[in-house]
C-alpha cells in the first residue's frame, strides 16, 4: 500500500524504556517544530520535500481502516504498507502505532510470542527515500514508537536483547535509501513472512519485480530462506539460511 510523502513532524518523547528495550534512543529535538511543513527552503528546492499535516495523514489512513487490526480482528497486524517516498517517517510512524495498538501483554502474554508479534508489525512496513537524513530519522521514529509501546504495556518488565537486535535488523532492510523512480531495479526488498514458533521466512526481491505483480512480494525469486528463522537469529543471519540436514545446515 503506497502513500504520499511524510507529514508534519510530531516529536515523540522517549523515556527510560529505550534503555530497557535495548533500542537506540531517538533524539526528538532534531525533528523540528510540531506541524512544520518544511525543514528548509533548500530541501524544498533540492528534494521537493514538503510535509503533509498530521490531520491529512490520519484522514488518509482512516480510508484504509480494514488494513489495520481492530476489535473485531485484533490479529490483523501483517498487512503490508510501502511508502515509496517516506520523508521523515510521518506515515510510517502512524501506521506502526495503529498496528501496535492491538498488541498487548493481555492478548499475547510476555516473552517470545509478544515480541514476535511486535516484530511482525514492524516487518510489514516499508519506507524508501532519496535522503539519508530522512531514512535515519524514519528509523529513529519507528524505534521511538516501539519504545513508547513497550513502556506503556510492559511497565517494569524488559524485552530480550535479541528482540532489540531483530528490530534493528528489520529497520535496516525495510527503511532504506533509494530513488523509487530511477532505481526501482536496484532497490532490494525483504519480505518477512511469519511462521510457526516465533519465526520468519524471508524472501528477497527488487522493487521493480514486485511492482509488476498485484502482490508486493508475488514475484518469484530464488533468494529466500530454506527454513524458518527464529526472530532471535535475524541479526546474525542477514542472508538466506540453508536447509538443515540431520540437524546441521546443509
- Beta strands (DSSP E) in 18-163 are 81-83, 125-129
**Per-residue pLDDT, 92:** 97
Better-predicted residue by pLDDT, 213 or 113: 113
Mean pLDDT of 241-247: 76
Confidence of residue 3 (pLDDT cuts 50, 70, 90): very low
Better-predicted residue by pLDDT, 71 or 211: 71
Mean pLDDT of 192-201: 98
175-177 and 125-129 beta bridge pairing: parallel
**Per-residue pLDDT, 209:** 78
Of residues 23, 24, 26, 25, the one with CA closest to residue 163: 23
d(CA 93, CA 98): 9
DSSP state of 67: G
User: 70 near 102, Cβ under 8 Å?
Assistant: yes
pLDDT tens digits for 77-123? 999 999 999 999 999 999 999 999 999 999 999 999 999 999 999 99
Give the count of beta carbons closer than 10 Å to the beta carbon of residue 74: 14
d(CA 177, CA 29): 23
pLDDT tens digits for 185-194? 999 999 999 9
Crossing angle of helices 112-123 and 132-154, rounded to 10°: 150
Better-predicted residue by pLDDT, 154 or 1: 154
Mean pLDDT of 125-143: 96
Tell me the β-bridge partners of 229: 200
DSSP state of 212: T
Of residues 38, 91, 100, the one with CA closest to residue 68: 100
Give the count of beta carbons closer than 10 Å to the beta carbon of residue 135: 22
| Minimum mean pLDDT range among 61-65, 71-75, 85-89, 93-97 | 85-89
Mean pLDDT of 14-27: 51
User: 166 near 235, Cβ under 8 Å?
Assistant: yes
pLDDT tens digits for 144-170? 999 999 999 998 889 999 999 999 999
**Per-residue pLDDT, 7:** 33
d(CA 196, CA 184): 32
99-121 burial code (b ≥16 CB/10 A, e <16): bbebbbeeebeeebebbbbbbbb
Amino acid at each position: 500500500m503506497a502513500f504520499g510523502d511524510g507529514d508534519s513532524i510530531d516529536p515523540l518523547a522517549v523515556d527510560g524504556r529505550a534503555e530497557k528495550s535495548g533500542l537506540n534512543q531517538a533524539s526528538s529535538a532534531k525533528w523540528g517544530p510540531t506541524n512544520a511543513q518544511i525543514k528548509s527552503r533548500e530541501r524544498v528546492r533540492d528534494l521537493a520535500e514538503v510535509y503533509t499535516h498530521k490531520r491529512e495523514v490520519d484522514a488518509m489512513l482512516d480510508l484504509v481502516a480494514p488494513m489495520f487490526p481492530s476489535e473485531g480482528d485484533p490479529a490483523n497486524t501483517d498487512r503490508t504498507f510501502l511508502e515509496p517516498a517516506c520523508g521523515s517517517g510521518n506515515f510510517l510512524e502512524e501506521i506502526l502505532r495503529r498496528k501496535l495498538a492491538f498488541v498487548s501483554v493481555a492478548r499475547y502474554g510476555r516473552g517470545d510470542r509478544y515480541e514476535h508479534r511486535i516484530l511482525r508489525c514492524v516487518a510489514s512496513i516499508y519506507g524508501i527515500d532519496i535522503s539519508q537524513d530522512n531514512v535515519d530519522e524514519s528509523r529513529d521514529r519507528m524505534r521511538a514508537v516501539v519504545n513508547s509501546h513497550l513502556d506503556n504495556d510492559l511497565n517494569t518488565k524488559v524485552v530480550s536483547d535479541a528482540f532489540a537486535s531483530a528490530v534493528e535488523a528489520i529497520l535496516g532492510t525495510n527503511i532504506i535509501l533509494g530513488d523509487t523512480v530511477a532505481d526501482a531495479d536496484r532497490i532490494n526488498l525483504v519480505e518477512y513472512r511469519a511462521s510457526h514458533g516465533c519465526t520468519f521466512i524471508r524472501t528477497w526481491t527488487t522493487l521493480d519485480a514486485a511492482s509488476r505483480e498485484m502482490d508486493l512480494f508475488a514475484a518469484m525469486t530464488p533468494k529466500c530462506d530454506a527454513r524458518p528463522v527464529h526472530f532471535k537469529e535475524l541479526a546474525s543471519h542477514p542472508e538466506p539460511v540453508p536447509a538443515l540436514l540431520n540437524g546441521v545446515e546443509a
